[in-house]
Amino acid sequence: MVRADLEKTAGDVAAMFDEVAEGYDRTRARLWLGRMASWGAHTAAAAEAGPGCRMLDVAAGTGTSSGALLRTGATVVACDFSQGMLAVGRRRRPGIGFVAGDGHQLPFADGAFDAVTISFGLRNVHDTRGVLAEMLRVTRPGGTLVVCEFSLPTTPVRRALFRTYLRRVVPVIARRVSTNPEAYYYLGESIQAWLRPTELATLIGDVGWGRVRWRPLDGGVIHLHTAVAPSFSTDPHA
Ligand SMILES: C[S@@+](CC[C@H](N)C(=O)[O-])C[C@H]1O[C@@H](n2cnc3c(N)ncnc32)[C@H](O)[C@@H]1O
């Protein structure tokens, strides 16, 4: 069984997700007690998804996060580099355009999308800054970025409870329902080593996104970051 480490080497991460693919949706639903639907709806609302909107969901996996975008009437492209996750997604979620691709080098033209999202994916990439820059490249000026990601709550009691959940409960559930339980040790490790919400906000701004905002969901176990691709004036006298 493949288990990525915090180096997040592309081959290891893709192989690990290939191995969890078949049981991914089931494990996801059990681990997070059905809260994923609500987090997806918040992401879609923050991205202002709706009919006529061209959306890209990066690191979309089996398309669970993309499904929430599709339900708004938007046109959704789901991009991921795990062939196993994509195969399950294509089988289960017709209506979503699944495309193989690495977030570090997205196979799309500049400004191709009105909004780009990444849910529970940015924490898994090797070069966070590089992926945020690629997402900016493929977003039209004035388009939106939404990052939905786990975080450690700031209040000590909640943080301790969430850590205990990650260390003690997640591996037990994963052993029962996942096709690669080892991967769920990586899940806990990667969440605990992940950037704080303020650090991620700074990084998003450094890459060139504007109007960066963030807010906690569910007591701070999730943070939603939003930002806007800058609009450059074509008037040389402006
Ligand atoms: C935890 S899953 C999230 C899937 C989905 N967004 C969701 O909310 O369920 C993380 C996904 O990120 C993908 N991933 C990680 N690094 C990637 C990269 N550099 N390029 C494309 N996909 C990547 C993995 O293959 C995996 O499918």
Residue 237 CA, ligand 1 centroid: distance in Å? 43
Residue 7 CB neighbours (<10 A):
8
CA-based nearest residue to 118, from 91, 148, 75, 96? 148
Q: Give 232's Cβ-side CA count (13 Å radius).
A: 6
- Angle made by CA atoms 139, 143, 148, in degrees to the nearest 5: 85
Measured from the CB, is residue 85 less than 6 Å from ligand 1? yes
Residue 123 CA, ligand 1 centroid: distance in Å? 9
Residue from 20, 80, 194, 217 to probe ligand 1 pocket by mutation (most atoms less than 8 Å from CB): 80
Beta bridge partners of 115: 55, 144
130-180 per-position pLDDT tens digit = 999 999 999 999 999 999 999 999 999 999 999 999 999 998 888 888 877
- Lowest-confidence region among 38-52, 88-102, 149-163, 165-179: 165-179
Q: For 13-28, what is the HEC assignment?
A: HHHHHHHHHHHHHHHH
**Model confidence band, residue 87 (pLDDT cutoffs 50, 70, 90):** very high
Question: Residue 236: what pLDDT?
Answer: 52
Question: Residue 238: what pLDDT?
Answer: 46
- The residue ranges of every structural domain in the chain are 10-228
**CA separation for the pair 228, 48 (Å, rounded):** 12
**CA separation for the pair 48, 69 (Å, rounded):** 9
* DSSP H or E stretch at residue 113: strand 113-119
98 CA to centre of own chain? 15
Measured from the CB, is residue 102 less than 6 Å from ligand 1? yes
Tell me the average pLDDT across 73-90: 98
What separation in angstroms does the CA of 120 have from each of 33, 59, 178? 16, 8, 17
56 CA to centre of own chain? 11
Mean pLDDT of the chain: 93
Tell me the average pLDDT across 11-20: 90
182-224 per-position pLDDT tens digit = 878 888 889 999 999 999 999 999 999 999 999 999 999 999 9
| Closest ligand 1 atom to Cα of 187 | 1
Measured from the CB, is residue 98 less than 6 Å from ligand 1? no
Q: Are strands 139-150 and 222-228 parallel, antiparallel or unpaired?
A: antiparallel
**CA separation for the pair 74, 84 (Å, rounded):** 25
| Closest ligand 1 atom to Cα of 24 | 9
**Model confidence band, residue 78 (pLDDT cutoffs 50, 70, 90):** very high
What one-character DSSP code corresponds to residue 6? T
Residue type (1 letter), 89: G
Superfamily assignment of 10-228 in CATH?
Vaccinia Virus protein VP39 (3.40.50.150)
**CA separation for the pair 176, 48 (Å, rounded):** 37
Residue 6 CB neighbours (<10 A):
10
State whether the Cα torsion 201-202-207-212 is positive or negative. Answer: positive
